[in-house]
Structure formats: C-alpha cells, structure tokens
Amino acid sequence: MNCTVSTKKSMSRLAIATAAWLLSTAVATFGSMLLWPDQQLVKILVLLLNLVLGGVMIEVNRRYVLALDELQQKIYLQASAISLGVAVIGGITYSLADTTNVIPFDAEISVLIMLVGITYLVSMIIATRRYQ
C-alpha cells in the first residue's frame, strides 16, 4: 500500500501523540511510586494530564483514519473490530478467571493490553496480505 503525504503526516502525528500518552502513563505509574508517593494532588494532576493526552491521542487517531484511502480504512476497521472483540471477551474472561480463582494470580491490565496489541498487529498483517 502506498502512503500519501497526508497519510504520512497523520501517521507521524499519531506516533507523537501515542508517545506522549505512553510517556505520561509511565510518569503517572512510576512517579507515583518513586517520586511523589505521598503527594495526592500531584498524582491527580498527572492522572488528569494522562487522561487529556489520551483524549488527544484518540482524536489524532480519528484524523489518521480519515486520511487513509478506502482500502486502508477497511483493513483498519477489520483489525480494530477484531481487537475490540478480543479486548471485551478476553478481558471479561480474564477478570472472571481472577475473581473465581481459576488463575493463581491477580489479573493485570498489562496482560490485556499486550493481548489487544498483538491481536491488532496480527489482524493488520493478515488483512493487508488478504488485499494484496
């Protein structure tokens, strides 16, 4: 698939927005544990920043999708739909496995995030190959 200049710009903006959100997530996580464990106001402000940057990332992602051509949008939609299904079904099942003590450890969101990310990546690869 060929990327237009508009698509490349949108992709760059999405990468920057995603990196900013990811960095704010790391700051919120590790800063709260290591730098300001007793500073409730700082924790709240950093969480709010993380939330705002997440909203920005969603909007930039929406604009990225609008910059794609019809085939790229179709591939993106298919991969996103599969990822959403895996997130909901896998997340609920994973949580139930924890609450019913089927698994001997606590269900951590990081496992679900990795599962969704891998699902999206594999779905994108398969869908892209399907349309080549």
**DSSP class per residue in 29-76:** IIIIIII-TT-HHHHHHHHHHHHHHHHHHHHHHHHHHHHS-HHHHHHH
What pTM does this model have? 0.85
73-95 in b/e form (b: 16+ CB < 10 A) is eebbebbeebbeebbeebbeebe
Q: pLDDT for 45-67, tens place per residue?
A: 999 999 999 999 999 999 999 99
Domain range annotation of the chain: 1-68, 69-132
Q: pLDDT for 8-56, tens place per residue?
A: 999 999 999 999 999 999 999 999 999 999 999 999 999 999 999 999 9
Q: How far apart are CA 15 and CA 30, in angstroms?
A: 22
Q: How far apart are CA 77 and CA 83, in angstroms?
A: 10
